[in-house]
Amino acid sequence: MKMENHSSSSQEALMLNHLKSILLKQDRQEIDSIKKTLYTKEGLEKEVSPLIEERIEYLKTNFSKEFGIHVDNVIEHKLEASKEQLLNVIYPVLGQMIRKFVSFQFQLLKDRIDQQVSSVFSTKGLIGQIKSKILGIRSSDLVLRDIDKPIIEEIYVIQRDSGLLVGSYSRQETMDKDMIAGMLTAIKSFAQDAFHVEKQELELINYGNFKILVQNFFSYYIAVAISGSLSSQEQDHLAVILLEFAEKDMKGVSLHLITSELTEEVSSKLEHHFKKDIFA
């Protein structure tokens, strides 16, 4: 039995070896062919390209679904981070007003990023989605939400073309209002020119806890800087009041020449209308 076992097992071993070498040969051939595919550029390209193509095609239409939120997050984080830096440097020096201008800057930045995003991923639907995400995300959702009710900090009547200040009312004394009016106008129209934004009746610039509502009229516009949060009803309410103001108080006012008398007149009308809490 022992012998038999031995001889049959040595036979088995032989068979096994034979089998092994056959198998290994096949394996080796396979490995060689895989190597050829893997290690030569042409081979790899042939195999992988269709897969990548397919994936690219898929991403072209589904990019926003797959990555939209990440893009949003990255952009939003970058904006938040640089805003913080910017504000830290300039805020102590420049006080309240600059915050409002910074909000413009960031609006421009957002628009620019928006444009970049759209030139990189030129798929219509995707742009729409990212755009709505970027523009739609309220900073108040990211920053601590301020439950303050809206307060009109400042209100300016500004001649549309020249940017000359026609009248103003502020709760607190701020920087030179003539210059603010000029800047605001420059920013507004430069942004319009640069980004080919349509002229709108009503513009709302939203940033952090600050909003600037701009109501355009024919030869002038009214800019209102508001702190606190502004609901859409309150925004409508404000728009109505601005229209009333324009209708009643600006009606007979000639803007042909901006004199200090005119500025005083319009300013006192503004004070009369906006000193009281219109959101009460």
> Footprint of other proteins on this chain (CB under 8 A)?
90, 93-94, 97-98, 101, 104-105, 108, 159-165, 175-176, 178-179, 182-183, 185-187, 189-190, 192-194, 257-260, 263
* Number of residues that make up the chain: 280
Q: How far is the CB of 220 from other proteins (least distance, A)?
A: 11
Nearer to other proteins, 58 or 195 (CB): 195
Question: Phi-psi category of 201—alpha, beta or left, where left has phi over 0 and alpha has psi -120 to 50?
Answer: alpha
Nearer to other proteins, 63 or 220 (CB): 220
Q: Are 206 and 139 in contact (CB under 8 A)?
A: yes
Q: How far is the CB of 45 from other proteins (least distance, A)?
A: 44
Nearer to other proteins, 58 or 91 (CB): 91
How many CB atoms are located within 10 Å of the residue 123 CB?
15
Nearer to other proteins, 220 or 274 (CB): 220
Nearer to other proteins, 126 or 255 (CB): 255
**Cα–Cα distance between 147 and 58 in angstroms, integer?**
43
Nearer to other proteins, 144 or 257 (CB): 257
How many CB atoms are located within 10 Å of the residue 251 CB?
8
Q: How far is the CB of 106 from other proteins (least distance, A)?
A: 12
Q: How far is the CB of 182 from other proteins (least distance, A)?
A: 3
Q: How far is the CB of 187 from other proteins (least distance, A)?
A: 5
**Cα–Cα distance between 231 and 224 in angstroms, integer?**
15
Question: Quick one: tokens of 200?
Answer: 């709108």
Nearer to other proteins, 71 or 181 (CB): 181
Q: CA 104, 189, 243: angle at the middle one, nearest 5?
A: 85
Question: Quick one: tokens of 177?
Answer: 């209002």
Q: How far is the CB of 273 from other proteins (least distance, A)?
A: 22
Q: How far is the CB of 111 from other proteins (least distance, A)?
A: 13
Question: Which residues neighbour 25 within 8 Å (Cβ) at sequence distance 6 or greater?
Answer: none
**Exposure of 1 by Cβ count < 10 A (0-12 exposed, 13-18 middle, 19+ buried)?**
exposed
**Cα–Cα distance between 232 and 214 in angstroms, integer?**
15
Question: Quick one: tokens of 152?
Answer: 């009109």
